[in-house]
């Protein structure tokens, strides 16, 4: 099971590695002894197989509209990485920062794209010489998505040092443009919950302005 900074889907990075500051803990079942992770600490990345548990109730369809294409073009489900798929299985390549072998055995990872509470079904080491294909053709997702500039309003900046805010996490997340595909309403204030805060922001052209930051009660 995953413990993550994102308790809601809005704002979760769309792929692993895009937000290095997005950290998760993968807590293994109590039945496992530390033997199951012996040697894993020597790997820098792991494949994490999981269930898109919060999408199961939303079903699936054969064609989907990837956000990368602005939500305008349909692609076959198996040509995309949508959570809305027949078996709701997901696969993420995560950076393995630490292996804690005392119980509960826990893997600390970064660059995650997972919701808090995601059930993990398997973990495998990433083997670069077998799996890295940096020049492979990547269909409609060729290249890193464009990033937005993120600025904090003066009032919010003043709050930052009173609260323990992970500024980098918020900036890296908003730079990815969490808005639904093709939504461009400059006056709209969006609300994103992350790491115990509600971040309120608006996006005008390619700039995200953070207008409010509210600490959520535990």
Contact footprint for ligand SAM (CB under 6 A): 9, 12-16, 52-55, 81-83, 90-92, 113-115, 118
Measured from the CB atom, is 91 or 216 closer to ligand SAM?
91
Measured from the CB atom, is 13 or 213 closer to ligand SAM?
13
Measured from the CB atom, is 56 or 204 closer to ligand SAM?
56
Q: Least distance in Å: CB of 161 to ligand SAM?
A: 30
Return d(Cα 128, Cα 106) in angstroms, integer: 23
**Which segments within 87-204 are labelled E, that is strand?**
89-100, 106-110, 120-125, 149-152, 190-194, 197-204
The tokens describing 129, both together, are 């010489």
Measured from the CB atom, is 10 or 204 closer to ligand SAM?
10
- Contact between 89 and 163 under an 8 Å Cβ cutoff? The reply is no
Q: Least distance in Å: CB of 175 to ligand SAM?
A: 14
Q: Least distance in Å: CB of 190 to ligand SAM?
A: 15
The tokens describing 156, both together, are 């919010």
Cβ neighbours of residue 206 under 8 Å, at least 6 residues apart?
146, 148, 149
Q: Least distance in Å: CB of 57 to ligand SAM?
A: 10
Q: Least distance in Å: CB of 80 to ligand SAM?
A: 8
The tokens describing 21, both together, are 């500051």
Measured from the CB atom, is 68 or 156 closer to ligand SAM?
68
Return d(Cα 166, Cα 51) in angstroms, integer: 27
């Amino acid at each position: 099971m995953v413990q993550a900074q994102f308790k809601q889907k809005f704002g979760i990075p769309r792929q692993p590695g895009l937000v290095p500051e997005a950290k998760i803990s993968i807590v293994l079942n109590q039945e496992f002894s530390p033997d199951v992770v012996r040697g894993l600490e020597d790997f820098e990345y792991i494949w994490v197989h999981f269930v898109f548990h919060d999408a199961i109730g939303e079903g699936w369809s054969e064609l989907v509209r990837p956000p990368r294409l602005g939500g305008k073009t349909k692609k076959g489900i198996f040509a995309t990485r949508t959570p809305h798929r027949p078996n709701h299985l997901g696969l993420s390549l995560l950076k393995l920062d630490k292996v804690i072998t005392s119980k509960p055995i826990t893997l600390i990872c970064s660059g995650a794209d997972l919701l808090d509470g995601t059930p993990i079904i398997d973990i495998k080491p990433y083997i670069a010489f077998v799996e890295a294909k940096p020049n492979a053709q990547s269909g409609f997702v060729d290249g890193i998505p464009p990033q937005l500039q993120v600025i904090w309003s003066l009032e919010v900046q003043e709050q930052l040092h009173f609260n323990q805010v992970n500024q980098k996490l918020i900036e890296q997340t908003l730079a990815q443009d969490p808005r639904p595909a093709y939504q461009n309403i400059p006056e709209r204030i969006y609300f994103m919950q992350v790491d115990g805060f509600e971040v309120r922001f608006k996006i005008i052209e390619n700039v995200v302005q953070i207008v409010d930051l509210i600490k959520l009660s535990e």
